[in-house]
Structure 1
Amino acid sequence: MTDTDNPASTLTASAGAVKVKKTRFEKKISLFGFIFALPWILGLLLFHAYPLVMSAYYSLTTYSILESGDFIGLKNYIDLIHDRVFWISIYNTLYYTVIFVPLSVAVGVGLALLLNLKIRGQGIYRTLFFIPSLVPPVATTIIWLWLLNPQFGLVNFWLEKIGIDGPPWIGSETWSKPSLILMSLWGTGQAVVIYLAGLQDIPQDYYDAANVDGASAWQRTKTITLPLLTPVIFFNLIMGTIGALQNFVLPFMLTNGQGTPANSMMFYVMYLYTNGFGYLKMGYASAMAWILFLIVVALTALIFSTQKRWVHYQGKE
């Protein structure tokens, strides 16, 4: 007996083929939904999609802010290969990213573990560590320029008190990037709040069972806290990497956009900004923007490819 001989299957097929028409009320609801979403859709098209497409086109031209420019194909990308400052900016950015991101994760997790302890004044300590992330970049720059001043800075003053000659910090090609990493670590309070939320999400039952088994504090941290906190660490690792690759505000303000000394503070986005708005080489800057986009995608994909080895999600083990 075939399917065509079966009345039940024929009825089911014919019923599935019938299109259910929307009522007038449902059509109005759909229309209102589209109208309410229209501002967001227009914003996406005008301020995201259109600039993205045009930047890809401009990267193939000699476009500047003042002139439309001529189509030159891949010449901007070829010129970047022979641009010495371009490679210096890549080195500076990767140096900062490779050192700052792991340090920020370690410092953030460590502070979150300390601030999660049930002690008197817990809320005050949490507030104190979060406040630096609220300080505007301009104020942060002024504070650290004073703290790290080689002649009368507070950091070198206290180092001298314990018999250590303080380094020249920002004024030195060797110490400029470590100085910037130190400044950036000062503002890890926002990540600490996210880690604290992750710690609060770990069920207390796990710790109670570990206490019954006689596990020490370090054993509980190593076998329960850190594995169950890895999804939050993974999130902050991704966001921290993307943010570090786009580092701009602090080095720009510290050096007035010059990247001194000896281009040791010339980061990728700074050089992109300088070419686009300083030299008016917007086509050249667009090519740099697309290279940065590819670098961000590649590094993000690399980190995502490792998550199965070390990220543990509750209920999926």
Structure 2
Amino acid sequence: MSAGSLAKHAGDSSAQQGRPAKGLSRRQREAFAAYLFLLPDVLGLTIFLAVPMLFSLGLGFFESDGFGNFAFAGLGNYTQMFSDEQFLASLRTTLLYVFVLTPLLFIVSLALALLVRQKIPLIGVLRSMLFMPYVISLVVVGFVWRFMLTDQVGIVNQLLQFLHLPTPSWLGDPNVALWTVILVNVWFGMGYYMIIFVAGLQDIPREYYEAAEIDGAGGWNAFWNVTWPLLKPTSFFVLLVSIVSSVSGAQGFDLIYVMTKGGPAQSTSLGIFYIYQQAFQFGHYGYAAAMASFLVGILLIATLIMFALTKGGRFESD
């Protein structure tokens, strides 16, 4: 090859290197990588959540005994639930459970978050102790509390007897059992929501508190005018998650199954527990699927209302 040909070949190579390479741009490659990272979660949610939900929604229009026998029922299961007194009673119990547990859990968790933010001795140990119940299995928690609250021989009633105080039947009195489950649930979940509130408090710039202190604002005024407005997104998240967990049974089903079995006199039978009984004790899978779909619909409506009223934690005054 001559010297002129070599020079021309080198010039053509330089020109090709100077041109942008054909293929995906940097932004497209980053998007592709992001989708690859999301793919396992999307597949897991699709297989283990979306598909069962769609199957449950369809199953609600059939009568099934769980052994492959299906009979089309149309809207029969949905009309039956509105005349089922036990199901309606379980919905009322669920509403009471949610409207008591959610604000109580919210207040206790926020108070603990404000407490553990203080500079006091052994605060790290206290924070760990408050969070520790949440890492224990709910089944174990239920068994331990059932043992502690047993009539006469339980440590709680023995302590009350020692103090000459009344000893109620914590799990045997229909007027007390639901409140007992609520209190145990607060004890179990307060550490988790406390950590969420602590994270929200840490995101508030210190300069706001310094400005409030210069203006002469006390502890309550600083909380009401600085902490509370800037904590609204975190508060919205806590409220939403606690409501969904309460209705769906993530925070109550295990405790009720272990501690009370829905009793006494169905006083602790939440909607999700009654659905479980219809499906896995009585074999009414179609009817249970219809009730579960109805419960999911209520949750979706409640979530949409919360988003509409608060704009995801950003209120009109923000």
TM, length-normalised to structure 2: 0.84
2:139 is matched with which residue? 138
2:74 alignment partner AA: G
Offset, 1:37: 6.0
Over the matched positions of the two proteins, sequence identity in percent amounts to 32
- Report deviation, 1:217: 1.5
The one-letter code of the counterpart of 2:216 is: G
Q: 2:255 aligns with which of 250, 253, 268?
A: 250
**Contact 1:228–1:312 (Cα < 8 Å) also in 2:** no
Pick closer, same or farther for the CA change 1:23–1:231 going to 2, 3 Å: same
SS of match in other structure, 2:63: coil
Aligned equivalent of 1:11: none
Cα distance in 1 for residues equivalent to 2:38 and 2:235: 34
- For residue 241 of structure 1, what is the amino acid of its counterpart? I
The superposition leaves residues 213-271 of structure 1 with CA deviations (integer Å, 9 ceiling, x where unpaired) of 2221122122111221121111000000000112211101113xx41211112111111
Q: For the residues of structure 2 that align with 1:142 and 1:184, how far apart are their CA atoms?
A: 13
Asked if 1 retains the 8 angstrom alpha-carbon contact of 2:234 and 2:313, the reply is: no
Counterpart in the other structure of 2:287 = 284
**Mapped partners of 2:76, 2:152: distance in 1:** 47
Name whichever of 228-237 and 215-224 sits farther off. 215-224
Q: Which residue of 2 aligns with 1:230?
A: 232
Contact 2:116 2:126 in 1 (8 A): yes
- Where 1:70 maps in the other structure, the secondary structure is strand
| Map 1:140-159 → 2, pairs under 5 A | 140-159=141-160
Which of 192, 195, 200 lines up with 2:194 in the alignment? Answer: 192
Query: Is the Cα contact below 8 Å between 1:227 and 1:311 reproduced in 2?
Result: no
Which one-letter code corresponds to 2:218 in the other structure? S
The one-letter code matched in structure 1 to 2:215 is D
Q: How does 1:114-193 map to 2 (within 5 A)?
A: 114-187=115-188, 188-193=190-195
CA deviation digits over 1:120-160, x for unaligned, max 9? 21111100111011111122112211222221222223333
**Relative to 1, partners in 2 of residues 1:51 and 1:119: Cα closer, same or farther, differing over 3 Å?**
same
CA separation in 1, counterparts of 2:287 and 2:176?
30
Alignment of 1:241 with 2:243, yes or no, is yes
Is it true that 1:210 corresponds to 2:212 in the alignment?
Answer: yes
Q: Partner letter of residue 91 of structure 2?
A: I
Between the aligned partners of 1:196 and 1:34, the Cα distance in structure 2 is 31
Q: Which sits farther off after the overlay, 161-170 or 194-203?
A: 161-170
Q: 1:123 to 1:270 in 2, by over 3 A?
A: same
Distance 2:294 2:193 in 1: 28
Partners of 1:233 and 1:299 lie apart in 2 by: 16
Task: Note the alpha carbon deviations across 1:165-192, whole angstroms, 9 max, x for none.
Answer: 1211111100010000110011110100
User: RMSD of the TM alignment (CA)?
Assistant: 2.6
- 8 A contact 2:278–2:285 mirrored in 1: yes
| Cα contact 1:159–1:165 (8 A) shared by 2 | yes
Select between 155-164 and 58-67 the one with higher mean Cα deviation: 155-164
SS in 2 for 1:62: strand
- Separation (CA, whole Å) in 2 of partners of 1:101 and 1:121: 29
For residues 173 and 56 of structure 1, the distance between their equivalents in structure 2, rounded to whole angstroms, comes to 33
1:180/1:251 contact within 8 Å kept: yes
8 Å CA contact 2:240–2:303 kept in 1: the answer is: yes
1:42–1:230 distance in 2 versus 1, CA, 3 Å: closer
Identify the residue that residue 69 of structure 2 maps to in structure 1: 68
Aligned 8 A contact 2:174 2:265 in 1: yes
261, 284, 293: which is aligned to 2:264?
Answer: 261
For these two proteins, the number of residue pairs brought into alignment is 292
Q: What secondary structure, in the 3-state scheme, does the structure 2 residue paired with 1:150 have?
A: coil
8 A Cα contact 2:143 2:258, kept in partner: no
Residue 296, structure 1, aligned to residue 274, structure 2: no
Q: 118-127 vs 300-309, which deviates more?
A: 300-309
Aligned 8 A contact 1:176 1:265 in 2: yes
**Which AA in structure 2 matches 1:240?**
S
> What is the CA–CA distance in structure 2 between the aligned matches of 1:214 and 1:35, rounded to whole Å?
53
Q: Is the 8 A contact 1:231 1:312 kept in 2?
A: no
* Partners of 1:121 and 1:42 in 2: CA distance: 44
